[in-house]
Amino acid sequence: MSSVAAQERRRATAAPARTPASTGRRKLSRKHREWLAAGLFLAPDVLGLLVFVAIPMVLSIVLSFFQVSGFGSYEWIGLGNYRRMVNDPLFWDSMEITGLYVVFLVPVLFCVSLGLGLLVKQKLPGVGVYRTVLFLPYVISLVVVGVLWKFLLDEQTGVVNRAMRAAGFDGESWLGSPSLALGCVIAVMVWVMMGYYMIIFLAGLQEIPQEFYEAAKLDGAGPWTTFRTITWPLLRPTSFFVLLMSTVAAITGGLDLIFVLTNGGPANGTSLAIFYIYQQAFGFGEYGYASAMGSFLVLIMVLVSVVIFKFTRGGRFDDGE
């Protein structure tokens, strides 16, 4: 019995002690937990971009190398759609109109939104109501906006022409004149988008420390000097974001508004590139050709974005590298 007891004691002393850490599961470090949380938060957005942006973009590029009949038949034609695009005068007319649309829309929208942001930043009575009213057009469907302004700008029964005639002026064919229709579309789009970018500028303005303005006031700086030396330099990141997003929106957006207001007319005077692509795809069933033009338009948008990045240095504060 004594020998058995001695063996048991030796076995107990030889066995390693089992600690709670060795029996339980290994815990993640703080860094790994942060990475896991970030991945879980980003996963829905990444999945949405993959499903609704990346995959359709790749499929569009692939489709641009085929002749698609619209009835399910696909015929490989290589660069045939791109050669057709190069020789299509209507497409290049639409690109020219798109260029004019972007060149006029983006600066006007930028300046109006910045001015409204500076205005609603002031401590005015009922400023919250003004912000809401100015932002309201942005949340309305562009189809509804198009119907509304088509009624207001109608040559015969429109409210605008009625007011002009009551004031002793002749009415205008706002949406029927090639020289006025594009300007009307730009004005309507500014009315729709200015509230959204006003809010973005307002957020940027509220991030500027108030102490800077108080110091400038003590130094005797006027409103223009204060804006030029304090507001504008510190608003560069916000300005960069507004410039980039409004440019992208101008190049790729406005289809539904054009469709309702002018349907690309008069005389293709408001036929933006995005509208011409829509016509080719869903009006004539030229899905391969529309995909080629769409791919080219995306390339133009990327190049313009790169130029904006280079020109503005990505909205950084410093003027150096």
User: Is the Cβ–Cβ distance between 117 and 205 less than 8 Å?
Assistant: yes
Q: pLDDT tens across 73-119, in order?
A: 888 998 999 999 999 999 999 999 999 999 999 999 999 999 999 99
- Residue 75 pairs with which residues in a beta bridge? 67
For residue 160 the two structure tokens come to: 């605008």
Q: 162 and 170 in contact (C-beta within 8 Å)?
A: no
CA 293, CA 290: separation in Å to the nearest integer?
Answer: 5
Give me the chain's average pLDDT, please: 86
Mean pLDDT over 58-71 rounds to 84
Q: Rounded to an integer, what distance in angstroms lies between the CA atom of residue 101 and that of residue 156?
A: 27
Tens-digit pLDDT profile for residues 214-230: 888 888 888 899 998 89
Distances 100 to 58, 252, 277 between C-alpha atoms, Å: 29, 14, 18
Sequence-distant contacts of 304-311: CB under 8 A, at least 24 apart = 304/247, 304/251, 305/244, 305/247, 305/248, 308/240, 308/243, 308/244, 308/247, 309/244
Fold classification of 90-315 is MetI-like fold (1.10.3720)
Q: pLDDT-based confidence at 33, cuts 50/70/90? A: confident
Residue-range domain boundaries for the chain: 90-315
CA dihedral 266, 267, 269, 270 (to 10 degrees): 60
pTM across the whole model: 0.83
Q: What pLDDT, on the 0 to 100 scale, is given for residue 11?
A: 58
Determine phi and psi for 107, rounding to 5 degrees: -65, -40
238 by Cβ neighbours in 10 Å (0-12 / 13-18 / 19+) ranks as: buried
Question: What are 251-270's pLDDT values in tens digits?
Answer: 988 889 999 999 988 888 99
